[in-house]
Structure 1
Amino acid sequence: MTTILVTGGTGTLGRLVSERLRADGHEVRVLSRHAQPYAVDLVKGGPGLDTAVAGVDTIVHCATSPGGGDEKAAAHLIAAARQAGVRHLVYISIVGIEQVPYGYYRTKLAVEGLIEESGLGWTVLRATQFHDLLLRMFGIVSKPPVMLLPARVKDQPVEAAEVANRLAELALAAPAGRVEDMGGPEVRTLDSLARAYLRATGRRRLVVSVPLWGKAYGGFRSGGHLTPGHAVGKGTFEECLGRRFGDGEGV
């Protein structure tokens, strides 16, 4: 039995990774800011982190904060892992982070660099956006009667549970460096995904695509965040909507 620490283990992805590893019979420690007994703020570090990492064979690093602090968190985690003699550090990253000049993506790329230079055995998996992210975004932008979306942008959403299964497989294998990207089964326009969301939730909204500006928007518009050559995910956005909203009678 392997002892595995999952950072961000109460989040969308980390919870699924933890469940999968436990189902396979492994001892899993869940680290997050509020999850006892391993309640640790990675950005601050501290002795609680050393306790969480002690005796661990593998770390699956899912913790992240779009608001900032990921580089500090990774540096603290790497230092603790090196001191504890951790064999393998697995990191979930995002497809296209070197192609799209978006602040959060630049941070993810910097964390990849820290991991690669850490001296630890490491594996990095990049995935496209989760279905859950689109659900949250559409839930917000569909509140007004007009649903505004960035024009000429596509997405390739993937099921979080499938990414979790892949991370669990990688955690139990030898360090593999940067592995092949993982994308959802379909590359779709944002407006087509939005209309599917509206149908599933029973909402009536006017969908309007609005041209934006800036280098980050240009990167998304050019498809830098997509990986059509690695469309290995199986679950579609419509299947996700069906599980979440049923027969589309509204929310």
Structure 2
Amino acid sequence: MSAILVTGGTGTLGTSLVTRLRAAGHDVRVLSRHSPDFPVDLRDGSGLDTATAGAEVIVHCASSPRGGDDVAAGRLIEAARRAGTVTNLVYVSIVGVDAVPLGYYRTKLEVERLLEASGLGVTILRTTQFHDLVARVVDTAAKLPVVPLPYGVRVQPIAVTEVADRLAELALPTPSGRVPDMGGPEIRTLPEWGRAYLDATGRRRRILALPLAGKAYAGFRRGGNLTPSHAVGRVTFAQYLAERGR
């Protein structure tokens, strides 16, 4: 089986992916700042050549909303070129990076473009937001007496496990280019998801749907972050919450 390097391999998505790849018999290298085997910070690139040496496939899951993803991707591309063995660099992106002018989304789009222009074989998968992110957003807002959530923003959350399954399928020596998007099975407004989360966690709080300003908010209101024609996910938010509760 081929050697596969997973960046961000100790994160929520990366951990799930690594488990699947190893179960399939692959030689998997886990790269992250906290990895015991390949502790690499992609923003400075130290140790990256050792991690990529002899790897045939790289699945790039590492990402930071605080910035620097474009720099990290540039270093990863350079290391993959130096390795000379990488035939497929798989990248997980976000639905709407070309439709919602949010800073983080713009950076993710720039990473896609860097990969496409790299001369390497690449596979790009865009997904909608994870169930975990929706829960985290609501949980943070619920620390206040009234729960403020953006008015009119619809979200189509998907299970991390289903994205990991798809990435495991794509982690082949042969690249696939831009593959069809992945979206969750249901679309509701963030306040509606918030109510479901609060009810499931036993909190009786009032949700305040607040209109926001700016082009990014307008992009979300237009549904740029949604892919209803690719609602391939099967795990609902209610099922996610039930499993989380257990």
Is 1:209 aligned to residue 206 of structure 2?
no
Corresponding letter in the other structure for 1:79: E
Structure 2: distance between partners of 1:157 and 1:78: 30
Corresponding letter in the other structure for 1:178: R
Corresponding letter in the other structure for 1:7: T
Instruction: Report the alpha carbon displacement of residue 173 of structure 1 after superposing the two structures with TM.
Output: 5.8
Q: Structure 1-normalised TM-score?
A: 0.96
| Partner-residue secondary structure (3-state), 2:92 | strand
Identical amino acids, percent of aligned pairs? 62
Residue 61 (structure 2) aligns with? 62
Residue 152 (structure 1) aligns with? 152
Corresponding letter in the other structure for 2:56: D
Residue 71 (structure 1) aligns with? 70
Corresponding letter in the other structure for 2:197: Y
Structure 2: distance between partners of 1:170 and 1:155: 25
1:83-130 CA deviation, whole Å, 9 max, x = no partner? 112111000000010100000000000000000011111000000000
Corresponding letter in the other structure for 2:237: F
Structure 1 residue runs of 4 or more that deviate by more than 2 Å after TM superposition:
none
Residue 178 (structure 1) aligns with? 178
Structure 2: distance between partners of 1:172 and 1:165: 13
Structure 1: distance between partners of 2:70 and 2:131: 26
Residue 218 (structure 1) aligns with? 218
Structure 2: distance between partners of 1:38 and 1:155: 35
Residue 249 (structure 1) aligns with? none
Q: Structure 2-normalised TM-score?
A: 0.98
Corresponding letter in the other structure for 2:164: A
1:146-189 CA deviation, whole Å, 9 max, x = no partner? 11111111000000000011001001262111000000001111
Number of equivalent positions = 245
Structure 1: distance between partners of 2:74 and 2:192: 40
Deviates more, 1:186-195 or 1:231-240: 186-195
| Partner-residue secondary structure (3-state), 2:65 | coil
Residue 124 (structure 2) aligns with? 124
Structure 2: distance between partners of 1:173 and 1:34: 27
Residue 83 (structure 2) aligns with? 84
Deviates more, 1:189-198 or 1:91-100: 189-198
Corresponding letter in the other structure for 1:80: A
Corresponding letter in the other structure for 2:218: G
Instruction: Report the alpha carbon displacement of residue 192 of structure 1 after superposing the two structures with TM.
Output: 1.4
Across the aligned residues of Structure 1 and Structure 2, the Cα RMSD in angstroms comes to 0.8
